[in-house]
Amino acid sequence: MTKNPQMMNNMYRIGAVSRLTSISADTLRIWERRYQVVEPQRTEKGGRLYSQEDVTRLTMIKTLVDQGHAISTVANLDSPELSRRLSRSHPANLPEIGSGSYDVCIVGKAITVRANNTEGLPEGLELAGTYTDVASFLEDETHCDTLVIEYPFLDRTTVRQLQDPGITSRCDQLIVIYAFSPSNILRQLRRLQVHLERAPVAIDHIWQLCAGRMPHTTNWSPSEFHPDKVTNEESPKRIFDAQQLVALSQISSALKCECPSHLSSLIETMVAFEQYSTECENETRADAAVHAYLHVMTAKARWLMEVALEKLAEVEDIDVQNLKLK
């Protein structure tokens, strides 16, 4: 009899559990972290293993959530109570509480130590898993929004590994930290949309990179203006600092144009007006309202131009982090 490759001694890996319960692997990990819905066993390399009892429990919880019960209200119920609720259940017409989290996985011996010792991540980020090597990550069948891998050096083997569907299908964004690499390998990886960072890199910088890739929940449509109300709408944070903008304005473009210089100058002007709008004299509440409105709208326009400049730098292989002023 052929043994189910997803089942080990009546234990299931996370991929099999996801298919059996119709709970995505990402959601399952979040429920475990936030609500301790089950406590799976672990393989020697850290992979999750679920029992048949775990699968049954998760199936009952998923059914109740689909009927409208909030996960927080059913996650810690014991199995008999879950069964009782299912036997008399009807849709509760309550919205499911979404996770709203952005999962990050870390791979590498040194960086995992630093990641696990981090106190407090940027809001919205979740550390979904840390692994000493790529093989451990692949064995756990983990999916994440951003995967961060640390290598001592990059070569052709690295390029092939990073193109493996086992990696590309399991993350939306890929960040690679390296100590040494030939320039041709760096060019290949940039063409593959891999974000590269030269070691050493502070762990806080890694978190900020990941946070910068989070889907933005801010409404980027034009803000409403009310002359009698000072808006408290949050302005988007800057992507480039002043020194980076000056450095970008000084480089020559491979596209035979002055786009980096023009975009940088435009963004600098917008940044100046953002500051100006906060310092304008306000004699009336209407003055304060219009200046607050101008500040938010300028910040939105500036952020969009920064995104465009970031993409231009990526296309032209411009290492913004290591640019030097002339």
Would you write out the chain's pLDDT as a tens digit for each of its 326 residues?
A: 333 444 455 788 888 888 888 888 878 888 888 888 999 988 887 788 888 889 889 988 888 887 767 777 788 888 888 887 777 654 443 333 334 467 889 999 889 888 888 777 777 788 888 888 998 888 877 788 889 999 999 999 999 999 988 888 888 889 999 999 998 999 889 888 888 888 888 888 888 778 766 554 444 555 666 666 666 666 677 777 888 888 777 775 545 567 888 888 899 999 898 888 877 767 777 777 888 888 888 888 888 888 888 877 777 767 776 666 65
| pTM (2 d.p.) | 0.45
How many CB atoms lie under 10 A from the CB of residue 54? 20
Supply the Cα-derived Rg of the chain in whole angstroms.
Answer: 24
In angstroms, the CA 294 to CA 77 distance is: 51
In angstroms, the CA 128 to CA 27 distance is: 11
Q: Which residues contact 91 (CB under 8 A, 6 or more apart)?
A: 67, 68
Phi, psi of 321, rounded to the nearest 5 degrees: -65, -30
Q: Which residue in 25, 189, 175, 15 sits closest to 108, CA to CA? A: 175
In angstroms, the CA 143 to CA 127 distance is: 12
CATH (residue range 102-212): 3.40.50.2300
- Count of positions (residues) in the chain: 326
Q: Tell me whether the CATH fold assigned to 7-87 matches the one assigned to 102-212.
A: no
Q: Where are the beta strands (DSSP E) in the chain?
A: 7-8, 11-12, 41-42, 48-49, 102-107, 125-131, 144-153, 171-180, 195-198
Q: What does the angle CA 85 – CA 86 – CA 88 come to, to the nearest 5 degrees?
A: 70
Residues 205-219, buried b or exposed e (16+ Cβ, 10 A)? ebbebbbeebeeeee
Residue 89: strand pairing partners:
none
Tell me the CATH number of domain 7-87, given options 1.10.1660.10, 1.10.10.10, 3.40.50.2000, 3.30.390.10.
Answer: 1.10.1660.10
In angstroms, the CA 122 to CA 208 distance is: 7
Every domain of the chain and the residues it spans: 7-87, 102-212, 242-322
Phi, psi of 54, rounded to the nearest 5 degrees: -60, -45
